[in-house]
Structure 1
């Protein structure tokens, strides 16, 4: 309950007179019930909705739920798959709502040190990286494992996601602390060698690397010595039935020093010094690719350059 209090009050910035909307599905009721119990205990104003579990991130909720989101002050989204990259979330946070995106949450996750971290203490670092991305025109990333990739980020604003929400930052995903940007969709060229994780229940933390060759912003080929991973990725992408799923939509930098790569999406994306690459939808974070799909690939120990200046050296922030 101390951790739940930390999430609702420290991360969610809940005030006594505000309305809370809790979203979950039939696979996450266990952890959602802990949050509901806490809200009942503090006599908070809240409503809750059980959604049908989807099979990927970015699927729109029912209209009734979307309307409830817009009329709420704080949204606790505990569905198995994220609603962060949906029109419903965008409309809610463009209005008065603050949105805590907490996919893949479980009761055991509440014991992870990454969740109990002091998110507000990392704000300055996240803002510095966000500003560097906003000011940049070209992003270049390399790793010892073989990643060599460049992309155009001109006229795209960075997004500050410090893991907590307030009136300025309305989207947070504790324990994920990150700065991200949506590169121009057809600009990315090169090779991505993923050594960390692929944030889907069919894969998770990697034991074998995955190579993604990118041409004109789109995945051209996928290779791994582990054939099961290739088959899983083929199943994940082809289920979408849209080429838009293959476009690189997001590059994010993890900045939570208490997060250790483990296969959980929010911990992996937020793990300090990691980079994640989101394919599919990015129109909710400043891009133009709209599709009901988003899948993140996480790599470690990268060098990252903005307009030729190194801002990350082997996973260590240089700003």
Structure 2
């Protein structure tokens, strides 16, 4: 029988301690869906040993940022910490955003999790050190002009003037905060309509139809939008996935998210892939969390490996290594 936090998997212990600072008497909500019930129940079975815990199950959502059921949205306003053990991310949903803004909620996204993530990789990181790295990079991750290059062929520039970096330390320890550990990043929202160039996605696209990329996907970007997608089978899947929305906003270049957790590795799951050190994920679609005004039905992140990032002519990262 598990009696203390030291007897549970390291990843679970991290969720309850350094990641959330959960305290006795606080109320925990675990949200899961039909596809990720194994993960939801895994977290619930440990959480209920130490905290007042409830679990809610809903049908899987169709895309990242889609709204949860009405009952789940209401429940978010009546808990201290919510773990979203779902297929698709709720981070960009209005329900999550409103609950974080208006209530006591600390949100932890566990979307697209696998059981091995509780024992190895990013969840085993020293999150105090991760926080120090993110905070050190943040003051350098802003300016006027952002230039992104990578060995795979990426070469894109955009304006970031007036945009402030959004930080994810992989922790949510105060009311209103949100994260999806083991991701850790600094992110910027490009000014709408300013991104131009080529993006070559050679890392992963955290989506059930894609994940780790075998054949790079080349996207032409013009005036802030992806206008052409080419490559192999995976490029065709991405093209269809986006076209099926029948909404031009899903092609918007929404985010420049620089991964900063050194314990993460590309494994085909959202949080470790997006937070993998030396890589960047380009978010497309909704950009409301990044100082923008595009309220798209989708926010999808696409990872590029071993990047170089320049802001106003100064390298923040070069060939996957931090220079600040």
Query: TM-score normalised by the shorter chain: which range applies?
Result: over 0.9
Q: Does 1:302 align with 2:307?
A: yes
1:214 match:
221
Residue deviations 1:36-63, cap 9 Å, x none? 1112211x12222111102221101122
2:254 counterpart SS class: strand
Which sections of structure 2, spanning at least 5 residues, go unmatched?
Answer: 1-7
Segments ≥4 residues shifted beyond 6 Å: none
Which of 105-114 and 170-179 deviates more? Answer: 105-114
Q: Does 1:269 align with 2:277?
A: no
Shift of 1:284: 2.6
TM-score, normalisation: structure 2: 0.93
Distance 1:10 1:258 in 2: 16
TM-score, normalisation: structure 1: 0.95
2:25 match:
17
Q: Does 1:314 align with 2:305?
A: no
1:53 match:
60
1:131 match:
139
Distance 1:284 1:145 in 2: 28
Which of 74-83 and 193-202 deviates more? Answer: 193-202
Shift of 1:169: 7.4
Residue deviations 1:85-115, cap 9 Å, x none? 1111111211321110111112232222222
Shift of 1:206: 1.3
Distance 1:118 1:26 in 2: 32
What are the within-5 Å matches in structure 2 for residues 86-97 of structure 1? 86-95=93-102, 96-97=104-105
Distance 1:306 1:283 in 2: 22
Q: Count matched residues.
A: 315
Kept in 2, the 8 Å contact 1:218–1:247? The answer is: yes
* CA 141–126 in structure 1, closer or farther in 2 if over 3 Å, else same: same
Distance 1:143 1:5 in 2: 36
* CA 10–131 in structure 1, closer or farther in 2 if over 3 Å, else same: same
Shift of 1:278: 0.6
Kept in 2, the 8 Å contact 1:245–1:293? The answer is: yes
Shift of 1:139: 0.7
1:235 match:
240
2:207 match:
200
Distance 2:317 2:220 in 1: 22
Residue deviations 1:262-308, cap 9 Å, x none? 22111111111110001011113322111221111101111100111
1:106 match:
114
1:296 counterpart SS class: strand
Shift of 1:150: 0.6
1:231 counterpart SS class: helix
Which of these residues, 142, 146, 149, is aligned with residue 142 of structure 1?
149
Once superposed, what is the RMSD of the aligned Cα atoms? 1.4
Kept in 2, the 8 Å contact 1:60–1:292? The answer is: no
Which sections of structure 1, spanning at least 5 residues, go unmatched?
Answer: none
Q: Does 1:247 align with 2:255?
A: no
Q: Does 1:283 align with 2:288?
A: yes
* CA 169–97 in structure 1, closer or farther in 2 if over 3 Å, else same: closer
